[in-house]
Chains A and B, each alone.
Chain A
Amino acid sequence: MAEVGTVGYEQVPPAEVEDMELYHPKSFATKYIWSQDAKIIAVQYAGTAVAIGMVGLVLSWLMRLQLGFPDVFSFITAKDYYQFVTMHGMIMVIYLLTALFLGGFGNYLIPLMVGARDMVFPYVNMLSYWIFLLAVIVLISSWFVPGGPTGAGWTLYPPQAILSGTPGSSNGIVLMLISLALFIVGFTMGGLNYVVTVLQARTRGMTMMRLPLTVWGIFVATILALLAFPALFVGAVMMTLDKMLGPSFFMPSIVELGQQLSYKGGSPLLFQHLFWFFGHPEVYIVALPAFGIVSDLISTHARRNIFGYRLMVWAIVVIGGLSFIVWAHHMYVSGMNPYFGFFFATTTLIIAVPTAIKVYNWVLTLWKGNIQLTIPMLFAIAFIITFVNGGITGLFLGNVIVDVPLSDTMFVVAHFHMVMGVAPILVVLGAVYHWFPLMTGRHLHQGLGKFHFWVTFLGAYLIYFPMHYLGFLGVPRRYYELNDTSFVPASAHDLNAFITVAALVVGFAQIVFICNIFWSAYRGKKAERNPWKAASLEWQTPTMPPGHGNWAKELPVVYRWAYDYSVPGAKQDFIPQNVAPDQVEMDAGQKESATT
């Protein structure tokens, strides 16, 4: 039963990991700017992602102002509104969440958690960040070109994305596509690094089945991204060509505003297939690292081993695999062959099974635990609630016939915000409270943290839970204004106003959080070593925060999985991964028996 955790002491450790040659920075610039240290690159990635994410947040405010009070803010035109919608979506999905989970948490945690000195290719890792930054700059630049950024919706569906009826169809769309292509190039560099580091740079004793679930989540998500992003890359290149040269990959014969265009024979649905072949795995590219991280938060703060570790690993792998054969559930009413619906509805609902298993195992980790209601734990609990909420609404939309009335309504908006917006961001926030002491040696301010947690969780719930009901009613998404629509009662407009106010408040709480980060980085309460008494390797570095090269002269040797919490007989309620069996302090009268 307990073999996961404790077999393998007698295993011969794998071949010794060679000490890698690190680049040792010689100046401020090579240490903090052109840095090759994954920990610095992580902060660069995260800082850039959060900065552009704040732009996305402000855009969401502007959108909500228009939806909540359509007659008040006359400076928001329909053109602006659709540009806000588009840029908000793209920024949050790609430039914030993907970059933050993989570039931010991936870079910081993978080398530390697997017991490596750094990523395997530090120079490529550095390039990855700078190309990401370039992609962000190109994205922002689309605000400063004639016509402004694209307003085609984050899905960028042709033909409208490159026709004149859509805002930003002259320059904005081209910059968007170039920015995406750059992002993918940069990401591929980082992604290869994460995969190779997990496979090749694990320290002695760190078998794959001893990796913390955080690493598993990021590892599988990165593989998904490496396989899925090329589809988007191809789509972006083909649409750029359609726009610039007119080969008509995605463009059939079209009459636009009375004019026959020269396009001929292309397929708009082809783009949708390419987009969602990327777009669905993208959901899991964001979700799997969140799954992994939240598993570790729950286990650490409930002082209990993660329940069903092996099943958790397999669930991550199976979800990752299945995520490649569900994409057309975004296209049930797209005009594709409707018989696809049978296949994609079946695969989509199958994916609910491993996902449900993960939820059960998180909850069962709390069960019989010794739960400390720290701020990371609070965020983890809030994650479970919002994720289950967003997950079950996925069972509506995935079940093809139920999707028919609900697709393209506010139900969809509520669903994907709950499941891939709110839930993963709650994990990010919990993770920042959890690992901030490791990164800075200081705690975030507790009072501000609690304020931040309650406002964010309850506020987000009040925004998105009632929004589903607007979707049941039939309120369409991406509507600049509803005007008089006979089936929409006046009370629905009141609800829209309420949601807008809640969104403003929740956004404000995030600003408080960012201030907390800056304040606490310099003035926060000093943290003792391994303040959460965590068993995983990143907390066992010789110094906190970990220095250049992460470890002392010797790399750590791993003897156990990352979840030896509350092991019967052990004196402390956690045993770090690098503590040898004969080094474990036992209660009086207890012998090794407890750990075998």
Chain B
Amino acid sequence: MSNRWIVTFVLFVVAIGSVIFHLVTPWWSTEIASNWSQIDFTINLTFWITGFVYIAVILFMAWCIYKYRHRPDRRAEYEPENKKLEIILTVVTTIGVAGLLAPGLITWNKYVAVPKDALQLEVVGKQWQWSYRFPGKDGKLGKTAVRFINGDNPFGIDPKDPNGKDDILVEDVNVTLPVGKSYKMLLRSIDVLHDFYVPQFRAKMDLVPGQVSYFWFTTKRTGEFDILCAELCGVGHHTMRGKVSVVSPADFEKFLGEQTTFAKQQEEARLRRQRDAKKRQAAKRAAESIKQAARETPGTKSLD
């Protein structure tokens, strides 16, 4: 077999093999669980248009290699330019590219415009765990700032903001959402970049310290889905995992009821502080009474 046969054949195999691989591949997008099927549509559209061009280019090259093989007695055609052909190709390409861009931008326009009735869920990222905050009955999240963050207030909620009192806190990497509801995800990080990524929702966005970013989606089916961090966030990046359970509204209410609120958390912290203070006082008193006893016992020196 001569060289050109081998090369033509291999190019042919690459083209056809790629198509066959695409048809039989077991690895493809997960079953969607949000409203963003338009994203999937745009991906598929892009796939078929660009895939066609790709295969056409390879097959055309394969044909050229076969047909225009080198022969000493032949000459290549001398044709520096062919304006007409160049213009046609440019125009066709521009139309094709515009055809990809238009549906993309239309969908993006929906992605950035959050529906008015969307509920809020705040996602807080830190190395290397997730936590979540739902607004309470008032539907408003309390203000936050990094300077408020401490052991008693891990979310950094402003203790003076009345909106924050009834905020529902989920100090767990797993979270539950009701099916059929639109959520505006408010994304906040207290240390480095993270990215809240649930493949089945299709949507994702980085969490950036110093600002609140967002995206929105509507839950479309129940199930339990993996949450991954998709922005490198240090040595534990791959362990920053969680699960989101999409459940019926009734189950969701039950889930919410089991969570604590900021007011409760503060109250518990206050009680804990009180208890601790009492304990410290008791310990101090005990120590003093021992000292007292020691002093009153003849023959011993002061322990002070």
Which residues of A come within 8 Å of B, CB atoms?
1-5, 78-79, 82, 151-153, 157, 159-160, 163, 165-167, 252-258, 260, 265-269, 302-305, 307-311, 333-335, 338-339, 341-342, 345-346, 349-350, 352-353, 356-357, 359-361, 363-364, 366-373, 378, 381, 384-385, 388-389, 392-393, 395-396, 399-402, 404-409, 458, 461, 465-466, 469-470, 472-474, 476, 478-483, 485-487, 489, 491-492, 495, 563, 565-568, 573
Closest residue of chain A to B208 (Cβ to Cβ) is A335
B257 within 8 A of A: no
From known contacts A334-B208, A469-B25, infer whether A260 and B57 are also in contact, taking CB-CB under 8 Å: no
B53 within 8 A of A: yes
Contact check, B190 vs A255: say whether CB atoms are below 8 A apart.
Answer: yes
From known contacts A165-B191, A400-B108, infer whether A1 and B80 are also in contact, taking CB-CB under 8 Å: yes
Q: How far is the CA of A269 from the CA of B126 in the complex (A)?
A: 18
Contact check, B46 vs A404: say whether CB atoms are below 8 A apart.
Answer: no
B79 within 8 A of A: yes
Q: Which residues of B contact A476 (CB under 8 A)?
A: 197, 228-230
Q: How far is the CA of A254 from the CA of B145 in the complex (A)?
A: 10
Contact check, B7 vs A378: say whether CB atoms are below 8 A apart.
Answer: yes
Contact check, B204 vs A373: say whether CB atoms are below 8 A apart.
Answer: no
Q: Which 3 A-B pairs have the closest CB atoms?
A: A252-B210, A474-B199, A165-B234
Residues of B104-140 at the interface with A, using a CB-CB cut-off of 8 Å, are: 104-105, 107-109, 111-112, 126-128
Contact check, B78 vs A566: say whether CB atoms are below 8 A apart.
Answer: yes
Q: Which residues of A contact B202 (CB under 8 A)?
A: 404-405
Q: Which residues of A contact B54 (CB under 8 A)?
A: 388-389, 392
Contact check, A335 vs B28: say whether CB atoms are below 8 A apart.
Answer: no
Q: How far is the CA of A159 from the CA of B4 in the complex (A)?
A: 54
Count contacts between A and B, CB distance < 8 Å.
338
Contact check, A491 vs B27: say whether CB atoms are below 8 A apart.
Answer: yes
Q: Give 18 A-B pairs besides A165-B233, A252-B146, A368-B77 with Cβ atoms closer than 8 angstroms.
A: A2-B80, A4-B80, A253-B210, A269-B211, A307-B79, A346-B101, A356-B89, A357-B90, A359-B57, A370-B71, A373-B70, A385-B11, A385-B58, A388-B54, A399-B104, A474-B197, A476-B228, A568-B78
From known contacts A159-B191, A304-B76, A346-B101, infer whether A268 and B7 are also in contact, taking CB-CB under 8 Å: no
Q: How far is the CA of A220 from the CA of B193 in the complex (A)?
A: 35
> In terms of DSSP, what is the predominant structure of the interface of chain B?
mixed
B81 within 8 A of A: yes
Q: Which residues of B contact A346 (CB under 8 A)?
A: 101, 105
* CB-contact partner of B65 in A2, A364, A366, A495, under 8 A: A366
**Interface residues on chain B, number (Cβ under 8 Å):** 105
* CB-contact partner of A335 in B64, B213, B238, under 8 A: B213
Contact check, A404 vs B39: say whether CB atoms are below 8 A apart.
Answer: yes
Q: How far is the CA of A369 from the CA of B235 in the complex (A)?
A: 54
Taking the closest CB of chain A, its distance from the CB of B160, in whole angstroms, is 18
* CB-contact partner of A402 in B43, B205, B232, under 8 A: B43
From known contacts A385-B14, A469-B27, infer whether A402 and B80 are also in contact, taking CB-CB under 8 Å: no
Taking the closest CB of chain A, its distance from the CB of B110, in whole angstroms, is 9
Contact check, B94 vs A353: say whether CB atoms are below 8 A apart.
Answer: yes
Sample of 18 A–B contacts (CB below 8 Å): A166-B234, A266-B210, A302-B68, A333-B205, A335-B208, A352-B93, A353-B93, A363-B61, A367-B64, A368-B79, A381-B7, A400-B108, A401-B108, A405-B36, A408-B231, A466-B27, A473-B28, A568-B78
Q: How far is the CA of A346 from the CA of B229 in the complex (A)?
A: 28
B254 within 8 A of A: no
Q: Which residues of A contact B97 (CB under 8 A)?
A: 349-350, 352-353, 395
Closest residue of chain A to B128 (Cβ to Cβ) is A165
Q: How far is the CA of A257 from the CA of B231 in the complex (A)?
A: 18
Contact check, A479 vs B27: say whether CB atoms are below 8 A apart.
Answer: no
Taking the closest CB of chain A, its distance from the CB of B114, in whole angstroms, is 10
Q: Which residues of B contact A335 (CB under 8 A)?
A: 187, 205-208, 211, 213
Contact check, A166 vs B21: say whether CB atoms are below 8 A apart.
Answer: no
B301 within 8 A of A: no
Contact check, A334 vs B61: say whether CB atoms are below 8 A apart.
Answer: no
Contact check, A401 vs B42: say whether CB atoms are below 8 A apart.
Answer: yes
Contact check, B213 vs A345: say whether CB atoms are below 8 A apart.
Answer: no
Q: Which residues of A contact B205 (CB under 8 A)?
A: 333, 335
Closest residue of chain B to A265 (Cβ to Cβ) is B210
* CB-contact partner of B43 in A78, A405, A495, under 8 A: A405
* CB-contact partner of A399 in B42, B79, B204, under 8 A: B42
Taking the closest CB of chain B, its distance from the CB of A592, in whole angstroms, is 15
Contact check, B211 vs A363: say whether CB atoms are below 8 A apart.
Answer: no
From known contacts A364-B85, A563-B80, infer whether A165 and B127 are also in contact, taking CB-CB under 8 Å: yes
Closest residue of chain B to A169 (Cβ to Cβ) is B234
Q: Which residues of A contact B94 (CB under 8 A)?
A: 353
B159 within 8 A of A: no
From known contacts A334-B208, A472-B29, infer whether A79 and B57 are also in contact, taking CB-CB under 8 Å: no
Q: Which residues of B contact A482 (CB under 8 A)?
A: 238
